[in-house]
Chains A and B, each alone.
Chain A
Amino acid sequence: MQLNIILAGVGGQGILTIASVINQAAIHKGLHIRQAEVHGMSQRGGAVQSHLRISARKIYSDLISRGTAHLILSVEPLEALRYLPYLAPGGKVVTATDPVVNITGYPNLEAIFAELHRTDRPLLVSAAEHARQAGNIRTSNMVMLGAAAPFTGMTPEELESGIEKLFHKKGADTIDMNIRAFRKGLELSQQQASDT
């Protein structure tokens, strides 16, 4: 098993929390992990990404090679496009549709969606709306993790126990809310799969 995931978003959106949950699950399975993050200047509202690599074998590089990412998981639609050179043939793009418009000349959303649809069956998720339904807009990233769950190499149960481990200090309510958000995302993903 070897998996390359690009996590994308805008500084402050919480892509590292998504990475932490997947990491917890991977550690539990005794897998090797490399996860490169962006710290520093770009964290102030700039484009940020994390290269997450999980493997049963030793991993050498902290960075994913172009054309070898199995999954691009983005919490912002424009940011999903930025990393397309990394996508492997047949790789999956899962992205939130909620734009973060903090630049002048932010492209038209329809144009962004058209570009996303050039990839193989992308999964577009209105994460904020589902997060609100789960109880808090801040769980958007867990909605996105749920939507991407089938492509992470981890089972939903493994990821849910990862969520529990990550949030255990914050109490049962926080855990429940995040798991609700996760399951909403997962449902959307399963729906798309069954539509074929």
Chain B
Amino acid sequence: MNKRLLLGAEAIALGALDAGISGVYAYPGTPSTEITEYIQKYSQDHHSPVRSAWSANEKTAFEAALGMSYAGKRSLVCMKHVGLNVAADAFINSAITGVNGGLVTAVADDPSMHSSQNEQDSRVYGKFAMLPVIEPASQQELYDATREAFDMSESLRLPVLLRLTTRLSHSRSIVESTPERPQNQLNPIYAPERYVLMPHNARRQYEHLISVQPRLEEFSKHSWLNTLIPGNGKTGVIAFGIAFNYVMEARELFDLDCPVLKIGCYPLPRKKVEALFGMCETVLVAEEGYPVYEELLRGFFGGREIWGRLDGTLPRTGELDTDRIALAFGKHVNYGLPIPEIVSNRPPELCKGCGHRDLFEALNIVMSSYDDRHVFSDIGCYTLGALPPYNAIHTCVDMGASITMAKGAADAGLHPAVAVIGDSTFTHSGMTGLLDAVNDRTPVTIIIADNDTVAMTGGQCSSATGTRLIEICTGLGVEKEHIRSIIPLKSHLDENITVLGEEIAYEGVSVVIAQRECVENAARKKRNTAANV
């Protein structure tokens, strides 16, 4: 046994490595990034043959992982919750084809939206795809369950969805590991009847997926992730994933003598749920995320005495914690001292010296000469340009949406229609939107804020930067004279205003690439070089 202090995300990574994966595929996204980073570092330190470079987006990541599974090897694919929206087409259909080598999809949800635009619950996707879902409650459980999930995947010949949330992903604890299992041999499957999803095959495969659902329930029934903790109280708790921790903590702190059914493996184990309901008058449903199973347990007509997020016993939105569980039980929570009124919020900001600051300064000056000042933007550090003092961007919806929304607004007659997108977000899902604009000769100006890295998530490798971005835009058909480069520096302000002004005024597709390395990344490189000397 080997003990390490690991983040939840890292426990998944180690579990997957010890399960003998041959590759991890991912696009960075808080709170999932550290899974892949751990595997990258591990591979580098141990000269291990695990493939681990970043993918262009979650869809390409998922499909590559499915391909590795097709070839007989084990693969892990990781993303944040909204990344699963991007990968959804591949994810849902992989349930129809099934897998060969074990395939585990680790998806990190972000309730309370610490670093996200919504708090969607990935367990819904699990149900949607009719796949087994696991939701471990501790770092050790993450390690053990990830290891096992690959066996489960191979045994069921289905992908397994591993769902976790921010707190577990970004919290450390000691994890004991067990010796690693060797990787699978190359063993590609020849099964066009499964993998060619033409309607006649798809119908049969879909019937098959439905027919194996009882086996999924059998797994849940026997899973150690689903356990009933006895108690004498008339109110019981069904606690899902990390909510179990808060329930157990409240149970200790407030001497609650309640039975607790811990759920960490789906579909719900019917017998265990019936046993809990059999011994209680009331059941509190504690879920970190949407009230997915509360809805199911209440049914359409309600009936049983069920407490949860839907009746206001627990807050409808946001993360749970021990205090929220205690309050649900009517306990008095000691709130310490109140936060003094003088304490103001401290939102994040663009770093001192960041090139985005100089870009926004120039852009604001150019836009000030127009009556309509709409700048469509995207997801990355530059999203912070929405805050004072810049207030420079006016939309941020999903990866790549800046370009396509600017296009639609231009189609509606808005001029100028300007988009600001980062290098990595552009290659993630901006390129196809630019192709649409070129094909339609839409008057839009796309500003690619190229800082040479995926900055917001901590400086991961970007799929294409620098001159490759120019080549991509040229290849997509943007006119060469309307692909301009600027350097977002204070000393270049006048020149940048001129270039931005000319291209924003141009009534066709134009691209301005603002190239300057992320200051954090530059500092990180310098530190790493110093450490290696």
A141 within 8 A of B: no
A3 to B226, CA, bound (A): 29
Contact pick for A42, options B252, B348, B458, CB 8 Å: B348
CB <8 Å contact, A41 and B456 = yes
Closest chain B CB from A81 CB (angstroms): 5
Interface size range of chain B in the complex = 35 or more
A-B contact pairs, 15 of them (CB 8 A): A40-B456, A44-B348, A46-B347, A60-B252, A62-B242, A67-B335, A81-B339, A81-B342, A84-B340, A85-B335, A86-B336, A91-B336, A104-B388, A107-B342, A108-B342
CA distance A39 to B108 in the complex (A): 13
**Contact residues, A128-184 vs B (CB, 8 A):** 169-170
With a 10 A CB-CB cut-off, give which of B171, B244, B322, B531 has the most chain A CB atoms.
Answer: B171
**9 closest cross-chain pairs (CB), A and B:** A67-B334, A40-B115, A40-B30, A46-B348, A62-B171, A61-B249, A44-B348, A84-B337, A107-B342
* CB of A187 closer than 8 Å to a CB of B: no
Any B CB within 8 A of the CB of A102: yes
Q: Which residues of B contact A59 (CB under 8 A)?
A: 173
**Residue ranges of B at the interface with A (Cβ–Cβ < 8 Å):** 3, 5, 7, 30-31, 33-34, 114-115, 167-168, 170-174, 242, 244-246, 248-249, 252-253, 321-323, 326, 333-340, 342-351, 381, 384, 388, 456-458, 531
- B114–A36 touching, CB < 8 Å: no
Closest to A112 in B: B342
- In the complex, A39 Cα to B361 Cα: how many Å? 28
CA gap between A42 and B345 in the complex, in Å: 12
Query: In the complex, what distance in Å separates the CA atom of A21 from the CA atom of B245?
Result: 26
Across the interface, name the chain A residue whose C-beta is closest to B350.
A44
Give the docked Cα–Cα distance between A193 and B340 (Å): 27
Contact B349 A45 (CB under 8 A): yes
| CB neighbors of B among A66-80 (8 A) | 66-69, 78-79
Contact A118 B337 (CB under 8 A): yes
- The listed residue (B174, B321, B339, B349) touching A33 by CB distance below 8 A is B174
B381 touches A44 (CB 8 A): yes
Which chain A residue has the least Cβ–Cβ distance from B7? A37
Of the residues A40, A87, A106, contact of B337 by C-beta under 8 Å: A87
Asked if B172 contacts A84 (CB within 8 A), the reply is no
Partner of A23, one of B5, B114, B115, B334: B5
Cα–Cα, bound, A38→B388 (Å)? 23
The residue in chain B whose Cβ has the minimal distance to the Cβ of A20 is B5
B279 CB, min distance to chain A CBs, angstroms: 22
Question: Apart from A23-B5, A40-B30, what 6 extra A-B contacts exist at CB < 8 Å?
Answer: A44-B349, A60-B245, A61-B322, A62-B171, A67-B334, A67-B336
In the bound assembly, the distance between CA atoms of A112 and B33 in angstroms comes to: 37
Separation of A107 and B342 alpha carbons in the complex (Å): 6
Whether A65 contacts B171 by the Cβ 8 Å rule is no
Residues from chain A with a CB closer than 8 A to the CB of B253 are 65, 68
